[in-house]
């Protein structure tokens, strides 16, 4: 049974939420968009975050990701649809999402180092940490995604001036 939302997470602590959105924007400027969508979707699959899965699927499709790759993401290791660079980032995302199980293994880190420089790795770590934070916030709030919640407000209608 679907539990109704527990609270509006944007209002739980507005200042902290604002900082999270600022960090999100900073990461988004430093991680290639297609890769960032894959990271967000894969962590959200692992964590079972319906809000984030819906939102990031919408966003990924809007930015040109294919339905085939999104569908195959849960089995990325067996799919030919992902590049070696994406595979390294997805493996690392899984390691960080399940860090209590993996401890961020040397093997996964070595594969990451073969594809990314140190600065890029730093941004990938922040990307994985950020989506895991969003997943935990959305799940604990039982947030429900509505595409309209992030739509830009419609421009105000101008009142005609009297003649």
- CATH classification of the domain holding 56: 1.20.1290.10
In a domain? residue 136: yes
Q: Distance between terminal CA atoms of the chain?
A: 59
In a domain? residue 6: no
Look at phi and psi of residue 162 and say left if phi exceeds 0, alpha if psi is from -120 to 50, else beta.
beta
Q: How many structural domains is the chain composed of? A: 1
CB 97 within 8 A of CB 128: yes
- Which pLDDT score is estimated for 2? 82
Instruction: State mean pLDDT over 56-74.
Output: 97
In a domain? residue 4: no
Give residue 154's pLDDT band: very low, low, confident or very high (50, 70, 90): low
In a domain? residue 112: yes
Rounded distance between C-alpha atoms, residue 108 and residue 22, angstroms: 29
Mean pLDDT of all residues belonging to the chain:
92
Instruction: State mean pLDDT over 144-158.
Output: 72
| Residue 84: other Cβ atoms inside 10 A | 10
In a domain? residue 161: no
pTM, entire model: 0.89
In a domain? residue 156: no
Range(s) of the domain holding residue 119: 20-147
| Residue 10: other Cβ atoms inside 10 A | 15
In a domain? residue 76: yes
pLDDT at position 155 over 90: no
In a domain? residue 14: no
| Residue 11: other Cβ atoms inside 10 A | 8
Extract the tokens encoding 89: 């980032």
């Amino acid at each position: 049974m679907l539990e109704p939302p527990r609270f509006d997470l944007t209002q739980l602590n507005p200042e902290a939420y604002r900082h999270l959105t600022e960090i999100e924007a900073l990461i988004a400027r430093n991680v290639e968009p297609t890769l960032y969508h894959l990271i967000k979707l894969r962590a959200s699959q692992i964590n079972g975050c319906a809000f984030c899965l819906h939102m990031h699927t919408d966003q990924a499709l809007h930015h040109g990701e294919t339905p085939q790759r999104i569908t195959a993401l849960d089995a990325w290791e067996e799919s030919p649809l992902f590049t070696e660079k994406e595979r390294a980032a997805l493996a690392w995302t899984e390691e960080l999402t399940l860090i209590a199980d993996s401890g961020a293994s040397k093997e996964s880190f070595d594969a990451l180092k073969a594809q990314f420089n140190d600065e890029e790795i730093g941004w990938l770590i922040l990307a994985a940490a950020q989506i895991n934070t969003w997943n935990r916030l959305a799940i604990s709030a039982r947030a429900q995604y509505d595409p309209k919640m992030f739509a830009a407000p419609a421009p105000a209608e101008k009142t005609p001036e009297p003649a």
